[in-house]
Structure 1
Amino acid sequence: MGESWKVTVDPRVCVRTGLCVASAPKEFGFDEQGQGRAISETVSASEEVLEVAESCPIEAISLADAESGEPVFPPES
C-alpha cells in the first residue's frame, strides 16, 4: 500500500447519502450539487479512507495508489 491515494467519487453514481462526509469530514466534503467529493484529489493512505470507500452503499468511491495508479478499492478482479 502506498503512502497516498488518489480518491475519485463518481458523480454519476453518488446518491448523496453523505456517509463519506459524516465518516471522514477531514477528507470528504460536499460539492455545489450536494454530492460527496474528496476535499483533495490525493489523500494520505489510511484505514479511515479505505473504510469510507468500502462502506459507500453505491460504491461511488474508488481509490488508487497516487504514485503507481494501482487500484486499492475496488480491488481488481
Structure 2
Amino acid sequence: MISKSVAKFNPLICVACGACVKECPREAISIYKGCYAVGNAEQCVGCGKCAKICPGGCIEILERRAGYESK
C-alpha cells in the first residue's frame, strides 16, 4: 500500500549531513555524490521523521501525487 504522503528534498539548501539517512526507517534516503539528499518515492512512507530531524529544513512532507518523484 502506498502512503498518502512523501518527502520532498531541496538540494539547493541540503548540506548532505546524513541525519535524514540515519533517521529513515525505510532506508528511502541516500546522499547523492556527497552533495545532497535524495529520496526514493517508492520506498517513502511519508512518516516525517526525516523532516523533523533535518537541521537545514530542506525536507517537506507533501501529499503524494500520481507520477511524483522526490528528487
Same fold (TM over 0.5): yes
SS at match of 1:30: strand
CA distance in 1, matches of 2:56, 2:10: 10
Determine which structure has the larger strand proportion and give its number: 1
Normalising to structure 1: TM-score of the pair?
0.65
1:3-23, CA deviations, whole angstroms, 9 ceiling, x for partnerless residues?
332321101110111101111
- Select the structure with the greater relative contact order (CA < 8 A; seq sep ≥ 6): 2
Moved over 4 A (4+): none
Aligned to 1:10: 10
Read off the aligned partner of 1:57 and give its amino acid letter. Answer: P
Determine which structure has the larger helix proportion and give its number: 1
Q: Runs of 5+ in structure 2 lacking a partner?
A: 66-71
Q: Paired residues, what number? A: 63
The structure that has the greater radius of gyration is 1
Over aligned residue pairs, what C-alpha RMSD do you find?
Answer: 2.4
1:12-63, CA deviations, whole angstroms, 9 ceiling, x for partnerless residues?
110111101111161211112432111x1352233xxx12201111100011
Q: Runs of 5+ in structure 1 lacking a partner?
A: 68-77
